[in-house]
Every structure is written in structure tokens, then in C-alpha cells.
Structure 1
Amino acid sequence: MPGAKVFIDTNVLVYSHDRKSPDKSQRALAWLESLGTRDCAQTNLQVLNELTYVLLRKKWFDSPTTVFAIVDRFAILGNDPLNPADVEFARALHLKTVYSWWDCLLLASAIDLKCRYFLSEDLHDGHAIEGLTIINPFLHTADKILAL
């Protein structure tokens, strides 16, 4: 769908820097490039903090300063914190779905940001919640999904 906003989950950003999984890294980078070209990517502060934690823990980079610079570049996609309405909606999602609390917070944020798609390897591909459809970036290309 042209112009549709896409919320990017942490795992996609992590894979974009993963040297041990070159196929997934290439797919994640292709998605990010396509979303950047279309100016339709979204994320939030929770994702940026999760990304920081994972990159620091994996020690793929020479210093924490490098990790912080990487995360800061992704902040252009969104760095708003969750709000109380997001938390309340996440509670309702958690009661209705099989998703973890942390994933429900991200789903609630994506819905609040009026995203059409939620890009994640961790959730059920094709599952629709409140107008938001989960897309596994390793099963689909951006061109295929965003052209619909």
C-alpha cells in the first residue's frame, strides 16, 4: 500500500548489523533502504533502547560510543516514549493475544502511530490487529508488501 507507515521492530534493526547472518542482514538492509526511500518507517524509544542493549551485549563494535552513534542514526525513525494510553491498550492486547508484554507495548505504539504494517521476525506473519498487519521481513520483500 503506497504511503503506508511501517513500524520496525528491534530484531530488524539488529539484523541490519549482524555479520553472522549475512542473508538476514541483507534482507533487513533491503527493507530499511526501501522504507527509507518511501519515507514510511517508524519506530519508538523502546525499540531504540532495546537495540542499544542488544548491540552492547553482543559486542560487535569497538566501543559503546559506536553503538550509541548507530542507535542515534535510527532515532530519525521515531524516538517518542510510550504514553499511558499506549500502556492501557497494550494491556488489552496482552489479554487478547499470545504476544509478550513487551511486544504488546510495541504493537500498541505502532497502532497509535497509525502504522499499517509491523515489521518483525518474532510475531505471527500475516496476523492483523486493529488494522495493523504483522509482516516477517524474511518471508516478504518490501516491494511486494508496499505495492499492495
Structure 2
Amino acid sequence: MTAQFFIDSNVLLYAASQHPDDQTKRKIALDLLRKPGLGFSAQVMQEYFSVAYTKARLGISLEVAMENLEWLARRTTLPITPNLVVMATRTAARYQISYWDAAIISAAKVLGCHTLYSEDLNSGQEYDGVRVVNPFA
């Protein structure tokens, strides 16, 4: 299982957001989701649903959130495994970042991605061969 680039949950959230202030980011996110080579992890799916379901501001209905999860489930998705957890803890310690960010980076690395699209990490920084790019900057 391989992918060319990895997306974080914030990209998915902007793609689904109905909030008027998010429309520019929505277009960027949708363009990324249309690119071939997309990869992400089960953690990204979990984070997406957790926020989409609880943040009324985004205007994402439960039905739409579920449909999006079903679409995601048909894409290259790395499961959470014990080895991934261990790898993420090492990455978190090495870079002094949160476990959750490290798990995203580690999943991208396992999938062979050299680019991670996220607005949550330092854009331009490389972590173990995975470069973070903020697509909204």
C-alpha cells in the first residue's frame, strides 16, 4: 500500500465545510482530494468525523459526514497498528511534537509519501523524509 501524498483531517474538514468563510480553503481542499495518489490513515478519518459531527459552525450534516467517510474508506487508508503506534511515539520524542501529529507523520512515511498537506504543523519542515506543506498558506 503506497500513496504519493498524505492529507490531514483539516483538509477533509475544509473540503466539506459549508461555512462562508471557508470557501477559498474548500476549493483548495477539493482540488487536493481530486489529485491521484491520495493517502491518509484511519486516524485522519476518526479526527474528521469527530470534528465534523461536533462543530456546528462547519455546517456538515451527519449524513454528509457519513457519506464522506464511506468515500474515504474506498481510498488508500493506513490502519492503526501497534507498529505504527511505536513509530509515532519515537517520532513524537525525536521532534518534540504531540503524539497525534507524530502518528500522522509516521503514517505518511509508512505509505511512502514525501508530502503531508496540513495546516497544523510547521509548513516547510521535514520530519523523517516527510515534508509538511500548508496548502492554505
If the TM-score is normalised by the length of the shorter chain, which range does it land in?
0.7 to 0.9
For the residues of structure 2 that align with 1:107 and 1:28, how far apart are their CA atoms? 19
In structure 2, the partner of 1:19 is 18
Q: TM-score, normalised by structure 1?
A: 0.81
Please list every run of 5 or more consecutive structure 2 residues that lacks an aligned counterpart in the other structure.
Answer: none
AA at the equivalent of 2:118: S
For the residues of structure 2 that align with 1:23 and 1:80, how far apart are their CA atoms? 29
8 Å Cα contact 1:125/1:134 also seen in 2? yes
Q: Which protein is richer in strand relative to its size? A: 2
**Identity percentage of aligned residues:** 28
Q: Aligned runs of 1:43-122 on 2, under 5 Å? A: 43-59=40-56, 60-62=59-61, 64-122=62-120
In structure 2, the partner of 1:42 is 39
For the residues of structure 1 that align with 2:16 and 2:95, how far apart are their CA atoms? 30
What count of residue pairs does the alignment treat as equivalent?
131
Provide the aligned C-alpha RMSD in A.
1.6
User: What are the Cα deviations for residues 76-119 of structure 1, in whole angstroms up to 9, with x where unaligned?
Assistant: 22333222221111111111213211111111111111111111
In structure 1, the partner of 2:121 is 123
The CA deviation at 1:54 is 1.1
In structure 2, the partner of 1:8 is 7
Please list every run of 5 or more consecutive structure 1 residues that lacks an aligned counterpart in the other structure.
Answer: 140-148
Q: TM-score, normalised by structure 2?
A: 0.87
Q: 1:133 to 1:68 in 2, by over 3 A?
A: same
Give the secondary structure class of the aligned counterpart of 1:42: strand
The CA deviation at 1:30 is 1.9
The CA deviation at 1:52 is 1.0
8 Å Cα contact 2:17/2:60 also seen in 1? no
